[in-house]
Amino acid sequence: MEQKWNERYKDQEFVYGKAPNLFFETWLPEFKPGRILMPADGEGRNGVFAARLGWQVTSADLSVEGKSKALQLAAEQQVTLNYLVGDMAQLHFEPASFDAIGLIYAHFSADKKSILHRQLNTWLKPGGIIIFEAFSKKHLPFRKENPRVGGPEDIDMLFSLTEIVADFDNYEILVLEEAEILLEEGKYHIGKGSVIRFVGRKLR
């Protein structure tokens, strides 16, 4: 998996663009800046956006090439990122370390995704925020029709509303929806797709 993402991020172009995800861009300014964790932050477009708003950002990804691009973007935008390279399952933080977590197209293998969501929950402070957007289980027909829209081909790596409610059952739900949207994010998220969107505040 590391090889796949390193090959993709070696491209001189920012393959998902430099602009933040629109849902993340809409919701993050609603909350007071603090410490935010950005799993699967890739080339850093979302982490850099958070840093521009005054958040103290810890980004993580499998790809060292992604880190290189993210630090380049951070330098362009005159902000800093703490960027860790490695498997999320192998990273360790103290409980309640973060005020927010941004999960933007953070697709993990079927056997890991709920476990990782539970782990992320322990790292978030009570009252902390999760902002989540990722492809839904209804996305595969869109991907088949237009591979450029991206997303996993394995339905078990995609999400349902039921899974999100189960994984984040200790949250006040601010937004939870399944929606068809038009993606225009670089060259690998182009076209119509089906996504799950979730914003939640941790209760305990």
Given this model, what pLDDT does residue 3 score? 81
Q: Superfamily assignment of 2-202 in CATH?
A: Vaccinia Virus protein VP39 (3.40.50.150)
Residue 175 near residue 157 (C-beta atoms within 8 A)? no
Domain segments of the chain: what residues? Answer: 2-202
Bridge partners of 196, per DSSP, are 134, 178
Integer Cα distance of 134 and 152 in angstroms? 10
Residue 81 near residue 66 (C-beta atoms within 8 A)? no
On the 0-12 / 13-18 / 19+ scale of CB atoms within 10 A, 166 is exposed
Given this model, what pLDDT does residue 72 score? 96
Integer Cα distance of 150 and 185 in angstroms? 10
Q: pLDDT tens track of the chain, all 204 residues?
A: 778 887 888 878 999 999 999 999 999 999 999 999 999 999 999 999 999 999 999 999 999 999 999 999 999 999 999 999 998 888 999 999 999 999 999 999 989 999 999 999 999 999 999 999 999 999 999 999 999 999 999 999 999 999 999 999 999 999 999 999 999 999 999 999 999 999 999 998
- Token pair 């996504």 is found at 195
Closest among 84, 86, 27 to 57, alpha carbons compared: 84
Integer Cα distance of 20 and 2 in angstroms? 23
Integer Cα distance of 20 and 164 in angstroms? 22
* DSSP code for 60: E
